[in-house]
Amino acid sequence: MLSSKFKDFLAFLKSKKILIVTHDLVDIDSLGSCYALKFFLTQYFKNQEIIIYFSELTKSTKNFINNFKVKFPEFNFSYKKDITLSKFDVFLVVDTNNLNQIVFKDNLDISHTNIPYIFIDHHSARKYSNKSVLDLINENYSSTAEIILELCEHFNLKLTIPLKTLIVSAILTDSGFFRHGNNVTILNVSKLLSEDVNIQDILLLLQNDIDISAKIANIKGLQRVKLIRQGNYLIGITNVSSFGASVASMLIKMGFDIGIVISKEQNLNRFNTRAKKTVCIKTGLNLGKILEEISEKYKGSGGGHDGAASLTTSMEPERIALEIINRIKQFII
């Protein structure tokens, strides 16, 4: 339980100028956590400076904010993109377990200042530098937003409807819509839902509009796909001019076990590959390794993870494709 720390946490922050920071490419969990935390602190420290700093937001976070603003036009998503670190007395590092993930202009780094920082996070604690006794870390939560929720509950602070909506959105996205969650994840969401905080409305807020050119690439990729059957496994190979990574993921959603997509990128041939996680686990297939080895052989650049990898090369695509397929087949006999 974090509750034993909450009083000290609050006492430490009193009369301090607070900067709330989070990782680059702000996702919906960091977004919701930062604004809920700011709301919480504002209740206790009326005339105190509490600033949020963001470097860059992801495309889906921006999309979410646009949808959110239609529903809650009054909600204030203000944050700073440019700040002077030395003006603050303490940094609250949200949804981040490694200071390297926070990006400032001119390569500033909060660890180079003498200003204390406190982690508020749900990632595994391995990479925390300079652990503080005040850190609020709980790896059992699917999202950082749930730590802020616990904080608000502990002090009986009533959250507003927009903030409840933000926290539910954060929990849903970070838990992969409960796929990576546990009982507590579902309980926390259920606590926040009400007539005014409706799950279907929130799911609509989280819907991402796909770009029309990405949709066309997906459709063309499907029209051109060649099916290769190897035992009980299905490999799909196709080509598109762009959006190769999204087309490769789409092939997996369509039912292929492995998807290979060839596209052109600045006169080079790019291969995007995807494999079902279950296939990788069952067969030992590692696309990252395969593409890395091929890239070394043909002087390209390639690599990735077991189920998602890419390769860029100037070699003719047919030859590379054949080599990729042959190497994949060695695993799925």
Among 13, 19, 95, 205, contact with Mn ion (rule: CB under 5 A): 95
Look at the alpha carbons of 65, 199, 173, 60 in this order and tell me if their dihedral is positive or negative. negative
Task: Please give the Cα distance from 305 to 315 (Å, whole number).
Answer: 23
String marking each residue 147-176 x if it binds Mn ion according to CB under 5 A: ---------------------------x--
String marking each residue 41-80 x if it binds Mn ion according to CB under 5 A: ----------------------------------------
Closest approach of Mn ion to the CB of residue 122, in Å: 6
Q: Which is nearer to Mn ion, 5 or 122 (CB)?
A: 122
Q: Which is nearer to Mn ion, 94 or 159 (CB)?
A: 94
Answer yes or no: are the C-beta atoms of 160 and 170 closer than 8 Å.
no
Stretch that binds Mn ion, among 65-73, 92-100, 107-115, 187-195 (CB under 5 A): 92-100
Among 9, 29, 197, 236, contact with Mn ion (rule: CB under 5 A): 29
Q: Which is nearer to Mn ion, 65 or 325 (CB)?
A: 65
Helices (H), the chain: 3-13, 28-44, 59-71, 145-154, 161-174, 183-192, 199-205, 212-223, 244-254, 277-283, 287-297, 317-329
The tokens describing 103, both together, are 């990006």
Stretch that binds Mn ion, among 78-86, 88-96, 247-255, 260-268 (CB under 5 A): 88-96
Task: Please give the Cα distance from 106 to 23 (Å, whole number).
Answer: 16
Residues 113-152 that bind Mn ion (CB under 5 A): 144
Q: Which is nearer to Mn ion, 63 or 230 (CB)?
A: 63
DSSP helix/strand/coil, 239: strand
DSSP class of 106? G
Total residues contacting Mn ion (rule CB under 5 A)?
4
CA atoms within 13 A on the CB side of 136: 26
Closest approach of Mn ion to the CB of residue 74, in Å: 26
Task: Please give the Cα distance from 55 to 108 (Å, whole number).
Answer: 12
Question: Using CB under 5 A as the criterion, which residues of the chain lie in contact with Mn ion when the complex forms?
Answer: 29, 95, 144, 174
